[in-house]
Amino acid sequence: MDKPFAITLDAGSSLANRTGSWRTSRPLYVDRLPPCNHACPAGENVQGWLYHAESGDYENAWRTLTLDNPLPAVMGRVCYHPCESACNRAHLDESVGINAVERFLGDEAIRRGWKFDPPADESGKHVLIVGAGPSGLSAAYHLRRLGHRVTIHEAGPYAGGMMRFGIPKYRLPRDVLEAEVQRILDLGVKLRLGAKVGDLLDTMRRGRFDAAFLAVGAHIGKRAYLPAGSAARILDAVSVLRSMEGQERPLLGRRVVVYGGGNTAIDVARTARRLGATESIIVYRRTREKMPAHDSEVEEALQEGVMIKWLSTIKEAGDASIMVEKMVLDGKGFPQPTGEFETLEADSVVLALGQDVDLSLLRGVPGLEIRDGVAQVGRNMMTGYAGIFAGGDMVPSERTVTVAVGHGKKAARHIDAWLRVTRYVEPPKHELATFDKLNTWYYSDAPKTMRPTLDIIRRQSTFDEVTGGLDESNALYEARRCLSCGNCFECDNCYGVCPDNAVIKLGPGKRFEFNYDYCKGCGLCAAECPAGAINMVPEKI
């Protein structure tokens, strides 16, 4: 009788590490970085809080969100949502309305009175924050949660910085801003209003501060030489917007010309319409494609009756009119004068040509490098003087609320490490979950929810909020449009399609694992994973 056929494998055999003689690759669960998370300047775990929101657990969603950003109701109104520009869902139909859901969670927290958890321990260290704008408030929040005492010195009469004095009420209602600021103060953060810091080192010595974070906003409007008659009424945009917070509104007249092309210019022009101007005209020297203002802001301004003179520059201002010169683009796309002029009637001219930061508090501080009107900082947000950090408008960066909030968080982590005589090391990031990694045939078309807007008549005559929020049903729907790019959300597809029963369920929230003793490497699980959270890797040989 013949002996049965058998193969004996030694340790050096090419088949020794295989569970099937024909398997050349095995599936592996992976976590990839969602593009929304990657694009968020505040470093929010967008996919993480959307996961809780889509199950209706709004408080957990809010708490996950505020681990990174303490101002979701503000951010849900003023952020220009780069997360949505990066969203993979846009390749299917439209991006997920992340910003709208964030606003819903922020408003829900205010309505329900949710509070931040106090710090578990006290470090005994005391940190000075200069400026109560978005960057300063963010740093104060994160430092307080890390157990440090925090005192904010704010030169102005109210907290909020440029969120209050640079963003009109029709975009950011003040009760929303005040509610989110108060929640930070309720953690134990101390706020001193009307406390301008003139000598930083002296203030730190007298207050016995162990470190400082500088977050002074860009409140000084840039000026430009503009030939003008003695009766010409020329104002700067920052002063106009700031005066809207006082008892007396600015007197701009019926015909207002705004000179500039940024978001501040748009805000002033729209404010002028609400103050009764029959003509609100923006004069901008380039084309719409080159305009730094966000397109959505430009479109809303045009809807409200603001006029924009493209390729134009102001040459001279009189007591009741201005002289405008037409421009033309040269071969390189730069505007050049044409020698053609026209006259526009104007009761006032508002200059919106950018803003500078008051750096007078840095006089006498050795080791600081100032370049182009801002302080230079290292990767850890620290200036050239040990223990003094800076962020927001004070450092080279894009000047938005979201970027400022991100700076505050980043600086807080490095300040905390510096105070504890250690170093903060940012955890490594996963591979980006690009659209080609997804298997989208499981998803049906689901159009993006449009937020309601105020009617044009009221937008032109009141400072009521222009853009409304989502109700609960719409917010839930919008959260559920998330594709969970690159990360398992326990849809059970891999478990259901595996022909070899090689997928093991570990229980709710624990996801799955593979039993490689049964897996034959067919790759069906990877092909059927909607989120692209399974990768086929070469078999070890």
Residue 515: its pLDDT value, please?
93
Neighbours of 166 (CB within 10 A): 24
Please state the φ and ψ torsions of residue 219, each to the nearest 5 degrees. -100, 0
pLDDT category of residue 226 using cuts at 50, 70 and 90: confident
Residues 381 and 232 in one domain: no
Burial of 60 (C-beta count, 10 Å sphere; 0-12/13-18/19+): middle
246 found inside a domain: yes
Residue 451: its pLDDT value, please?
94
CA distance linking residue 541 with residue 537, whole number of Å = 12
Residue 224: its pLDDT value, please?
76
Is 15's pLDDT higher than 50? no
Residues 260 and 338 in one domain: yes
Residue 219: its pLDDT value, please?
85
Is 299's pLDDT higher than 60? yes
CB 286 within 8 A of CB 231: no
Name which residue leads in pLDDT, 16 or 248. Answer: 248
Residues 143 and 168 in one domain: yes
CB 17 within 8 A of CB 540: yes
Q: Which residue has the tokens 């891999």?
A: 494
Is 530's pLDDT higher than 70? yes
511 found inside a domain: no
Residue 205: its pLDDT value, please?
96
Could you give the number of structural domains in the chain? 2
Structure tokens, 457? 């008549």
Indicate the range of 35-44, 113-122, 433-442 predicted with least confidence: 433-442
Residues 253 and 346 in one domain: yes
- In order of 7, 8, 10, 21, 191, the CA distances from 3 in angstroms are 12, 14, 21, 22, 89
Is 231's pLDDT higher than 80? no
Residues 186 and 271 in one domain: no
The three-point CA angle 227-320-271 to 5° equals: 95
Residues 234 and 350 in one domain: yes
Q: What is the pTM of this model?
A: 0.91
189 found inside a domain: yes
CA distance linking residue 176 with residue 71, whole number of Å = 10
Residues 319 and 413 in one domain: no
Residue that finishes a domain, picked among 305, 322, 354: 354
Burial of 526 (C-beta count, 10 Å sphere; 0-12/13-18/19+): buried
- In order of 113, 280, 320, 481, 507, the CA distances from 326 in angstroms are 55, 19, 20, 47, 69
Q: What is the pLDDT of residues 280-297, one digit of tens each?
A: 999 999 999 999 999 999
Residue 541: its pLDDT value, please?
63
Residue 540: its pLDDT value, please?
77
pLDDT category of residue 230 using cuts at 50, 70 and 90: low
Residue 96: its pLDDT value, please?
97
Please provide the average confidence, as pLDDT, over all residues in the chain. Answer: 91
Residues 199 and 159 in one domain: yes
Residue 246: its pLDDT value, please?
81
Of the candidates 254, 184, 245, 191, which has an alpha carbon nearest to the alpha carbon of residue 219?
245
Of the candidates 119, 166, 103, which has an alpha carbon nearest to the alpha carbon of residue 404?
166
Ramachandran region, residue 369 (left: φ > 0; alpha: ψ -120 to 50; beta: rest): beta
Mean pLDDT of the region 226-230: 71
CA distance linking residue 217 with residue 26, whole number of Å = 54
Indicate the range of 4-18, 90-104, 156-170, 470-484 predicted with least confidence: 4-18
Residues 132 and 216 in one domain: yes
CA distance linking residue 381 with residue 408, whole number of Å = 9
Mean pLDDT of the region 113-118: 96
Q: What is the pLDDT of residues 478-520, one digit of tens each?
A: 999 999 999 999 999 999 999 999 999 999 989 999 999 899 9
Please state the φ and ψ torsions of residue 57, each to the nearest 5 degrees. -90, 75
DSSP state of 36: H
What CATH number does residue 393 fall under? 3.50.50.60
Is 3's pLDDT higher than 60? no
Length of the chain: 541
CB 449 within 8 A of CB 100: yes
Is 393's pLDDT higher than 50? yes
Residue 22: its pLDDT value, please?
67
Cα dihedral sign, 236-237-240-245: negative
493 found inside a domain: no
Of the candidates 88, 84, 244, 249, which has an alpha carbon nearest to the alpha carbon of residue 170?
244
CA distance linking residue 193 with residue 195, whole number of Å = 5
One-letter amino acid of 253: G
Mean pLDDT of the region 169-184: 97
Q: What is the pLDDT of residues 184-212, one digit of tens each?
A: 999 999 999 999 999 999 999 999 999 99
CA distance linking residue 501 with residue 512, whole number of Å = 12
pLDDT category of residue 227 using cuts at 50, 70 and 90: confident
CB 215 within 8 A of CB 408: yes
Residue that finishes a domain, picked among 419, 436, 463: 419
238 found inside a domain: yes
Helix (H, G, I), strand (E, B) or coil at 389: strand
State the residue range of the domain holding 315: 226-354
Residue that finishes a domain, picked among 322, 354, 386: 354
Mean pLDDT of the region 84-110: 96
Residue 7: its pLDDT value, please?
32
Q: What is the pLDDT of residues 126-173, one digit of tens each?
A: 999 999 999 999 999 999 999 999 999 999 999 999 999 999 999 999
Q: What percent of the chain has pLDDT over 70?
A: 95
Mean pLDDT of the region 233-257: 90
List helix spans (H) across 364-464.
401-419, 456-461
Mean pLDDT of the region 87-91: 95
